[in-house]
Amino acid sequence: MTNARPLRADAQRNRARVLAAAEWVFAERGTATSTEEVARAAGVGVGTVFRHFPSKEALLQALVVQRLARVAADAREHATSPNAGAAFFDFFAATVRGSATKLELVDALAELGIHPDDAVAPIAEEVTEALAALLQQAQRAGSVRRDVDVRDVIALLAGASQARRYAPDDRPLDVILDGLRAPSAH
């Protein structure tokens, strides 16, 4: 919603229910699922879905932003760990393993002619900052190579996430994680 006024409590609950239902429905049945099915799963009328998300594209964008907000929060949480190296590698692996639905959402936006960068612009800086802090802590701890920067990590996360489509086991992920380790950490 682009309205600057805060949503009423019941409207906030409905919006959250729609997003949760859409995330589940799209994960189970794919992003071609209708907004009517999302409304049914949320226990609301289709009008409620469209009141919060004027189009399916807007709903998909909101889901991508929500997912990335979770990634940023997860990176910040991992950054509080006393074991910075383990926290970085745990975060990286968990993010890649949980990426299948996010990739489907991004693919669906692309099919609709919406560039994924446009959909994530509001949250991209927050994700980058949280990830950079986590990376820097792991580098200071001597766990991650010093020549790796946050753009490298983002590219490797994206590539490793795509690789899961073709090799669902952890072998490609393990190769990437091994390549990120500082020489002294091998």
Q: Where are the domains of the chain?
A: 1-54, 55-185
| Model pLDDT, residue 59 | 92
| Model pLDDT, residue 61 | 85
Nearest in space to 51 (alpha carbons), one of 110, 10, 108: 10
Q: Which amino acid is at 96?
A: V
Which residues on adjacent β-strands are paired with residue 181? 144
| Model pLDDT, residue 116 | 61
Q: Which amino acid is at 176?
A: I
Each residue's pLDDT tens digit in the chain (186 positions)? 445 567 788 888 999 999 999 989 988 888 888 999 999 999 999 999 999 999 998 898 888 888 889 999 999 999 999 999 999 999 999 998 888 666 666 666 566 566 666 667 778 889 899 999 999 999 999 999 999 999 999 989 888 888 888 887 889 999 999 999 999 876
Q: Pull the structure tokens for residue 155.
A: 């590219």
How many Å apart are CA 183 and CA 101, to the nearest integer? 34
The CATH number, out of the four listed (2.60.220, 1.10.10, 3.40.50, 3.90.1150), of the domain defined by the range 1-54: 1.10.10
The model's pTM is 0.81
Q: Kindly report the length of the chain.
A: 186
Other C-beta atoms within 10 Å of 18: how many?
26
How many Å apart are CA 26 and CA 56, to the nearest integer? 12
How many Å apart are CA 108 and CA 114, to the nearest integer? 9
Q: Return the residue matching tokens 């994206």.
A: 158
Whether CATH 1.10.10.10 fits 55-185: no
Q: Return the residue matching tokens 């990335």.
A: 68
Q: What do you get for the CA distance between the two ends of the chain, in Å?
A: 49
| Model pLDDT, residue 1 | 45
